[in-house]
Amino acid sequence: MGNINFTINGERIQAEQGQTILQAAREEGIYIPGLCDHPALPPEGACRICLVEIEGQRALHTSCTYPVSEGLVVNTNSDRVRASRKFNLELLLSDHPMDCMTCDAAGDCLLQDLAYEYDVSEDRYQGTKHHYSVNDPNPFIQVDRNKCILCRRCVRACREVNGVEAISVFYRGFSAYIGFGADSSMDNSPCEFCGSCVEVCPTGALWPKMSLGEGRPWQVERVQTTCPYCGVGCQLILEVKDNKIIKVDSAWDGPSNHGWTCVKGRFGYDFVHHPDRLEKPRVRKYLLDGKKKPAASKRNPEKEGNPWQWVEVDWETALGITAGKMRQIRDDHGPESMGFLTSAKCLNEENYLMNKLARQVIGTNSIDHCARL
């Protein structure tokens, strides 16, 4: 509960000193539309969609930048406000491809939502539109400047949150566009492909290349999970269509990642459905046959019947062979002959069990972790 009292649409609410009208309204569940504002980013005041009327003030003000003060009387939805918002939306859409039919972002696009809400369909200006080529050669992110509304959420995410500063605005006015590095391609810039820019982009201007044409938001099941890669444990949301992951979003309520993640978490999921992925355990044929290790010169795992051949088995068999071998090494050469290396991809619990296996079951203190290498 804050210490500043003010009024929105006749409703008295409380806010903290230093909050903007939009922040205070959001906390109270009062809807004010906006395109450039994002809860995790500093305000920009660029899109002019969040305009509100403040009693006693001649001009409208952007609620995303206007600080609350005692006794403020705010109207978020007057005719004047709605007309201004519609005006700005009309301008944005007058330089927009309007191809929602085939756009991957349809259904997950703030611009589309607002065009619907404010009933913007015709282009009264019939002026020039941009026709940028969509050809950034990087492997992860499609950059479609034709769909960019220059809200600069991406610029701020990359600069203020990541400190990478790969994205900036080039040129001025109607010719302004977002670009990378020294106006180069993304992979020729300092970009680390964390995809934070994609996550915050309100339109289809930035989209994962791997997800293009794979499905629409209403066709997917959203499954929250923990990233399998490292000990940070980013919370991710998998967008799953027909039992296939088609896109990964980072979860804003993730306690360790707060909505951000890295290139591996966001784009490194192609192994899941990769044909080379091992889904069952395999052992060498000679182990299965209980034979001694044959000479390396005989190695020909592709050949049927070769002692080095990989044979698919069930878990019990595979673990049985492994346990037997480990016991044998310990018995023959002593526990100090063995060392254990655990993985950052394991959970804490798994690493704890590995510790127990090394120290108690085998009896060695030689255990280390890949994160120290």
Partner 1 sequence: MNSRSDVPTNENFEPVLTQNLKLPGSEKIATYLSVGGYQAVRKALSLPPDEIIDMVKRSGLRGRGGAGFPTGTKWGFMPNGKDVPKIVAVNTDEGEPGTFKDREIVEQDPHQVLEGVIIAAYAVGANRAYVYIRGEFFLGVKRWIKAISDAYEFGFLGENILGSDFSLDLSVHRGAGAYICGEETAMLESLEGKRGSPRLKPPYPASIGLFGLPTLVQNIETLACVPHIINRGSEWFSSIGTAQSKGPKIFSVSGHVNRPGNYELPLGISLKEIIYRHAGGIRNGNRLKAVIPGGASTPILPAELVDVPMAFETLEAAGSALGTGAIIVMDETTCIVEAVRRLSKFFAHESCGHCTPCRIGSHRIYEIMDRIEKGQGHSGDIDLLLNLVEGIDGNTFCPMGSALVNPVRSAIQHFREEFEYHITNKNCLVKTQIPK
DSSP designation for 160: I
User: How far apart are CB 34 and ligand FES at their closest, in Å?
Assistant: 3
Separation in Å, CA 29 to CA 2, 71, 112, 257? 15, 20, 22, 24
Q: Cα separation of 198 and 109, whole Å?
A: 12
Binding at 154: pick from ligand SF4, partner 1, ligand FES, none (beta carbon under 5-8 Å per type)? ligand SF4
Q: Cα separation of 309 and 304, whole Å?
A: 7
Separation in Å, CA 100 to CA 124, 170, 221, 306, 325? 19, 26, 21, 57, 60
Q: Cα separation of 262 and 230, whole Å?
A: 10
User: How far apart are CB 61 and ligand FES at their closest, in Å?
Assistant: 9
What binding mask, one character per residue, do residues 177-206 give for ligand SF4 by CB under 6 A, x or -?
A: -x------------xxxxxxx--xxxx-xx
Instruction: Assess 64 for contact with ligand FES (CB under 6 A).
Output: yes
Among 29-37, 219-227, 234-242, 289-297, which window interacts with ligand FES (CB under 6 A)? 29-37
Binding at 37: pick from partner 1, ligand FES, ligand SF4, none (beta carbon under 5-8 Å per type)? ligand FES
Name which of 192, 350, 206, 346 is nearest 264 in CA terms: 192
Question: 202 CB contacts (<8 Å, ≥6 apart)?
Answer: 35, 109, 110, 111, 149, 151, 153
Separation in Å, CA 338 to CA 352, 361, 368? 18, 12, 12
Binding at 34: pick from ligand SF4, ligand FES, partner 1, none (beta carbon under 5-8 Å per type)? ligand FES
User: How far apart are CB 82 and partner 1 at their closest, in Å?
Assistant: 12
Structure tokens at 197: 């820019």
Binding at 174: pick from ligand FES, partner 1, ligand SF4, none (beta carbon under 5-8 Å per type)? partner 1
Question: 355 CB contacts (<8 Å, ≥6 apart)?
Answer: 342, 367
User: How far apart are CB 34 and partner 1 at their closest, in Å?
Assistant: 12
Instruction: Assess 238 for contact with ligand SF4 (CB under 6 A).
Output: no
Instruction: Assess 48 for contact with ligand FES (CB under 6 A).
Output: yes
User: How far apart are CB 172 and partner 1 at their closest, in Å?
Assistant: 5
Site for ligand SF4 in 133-152 (CB under 6 A): 148-152
Nearer to partner 1, 180 or 193 (CB): 180
Burial class for 346, CB neighbours closer than 10 Å (0-12, 13-18, 19+):
middle
Binding at 269: pick from ligand SF4, ligand FES, partner 1, none (beta carbon under 5-8 Å per type)? none
Residues that bind ligand FES (CB under 6 A): 34-37, 45-50, 62, 64
Residues that bind ligand SF4 (CB under 6 A): 148-154, 157-158, 162, 164, 166-167, 178, 191-197, 200-203, 205-206
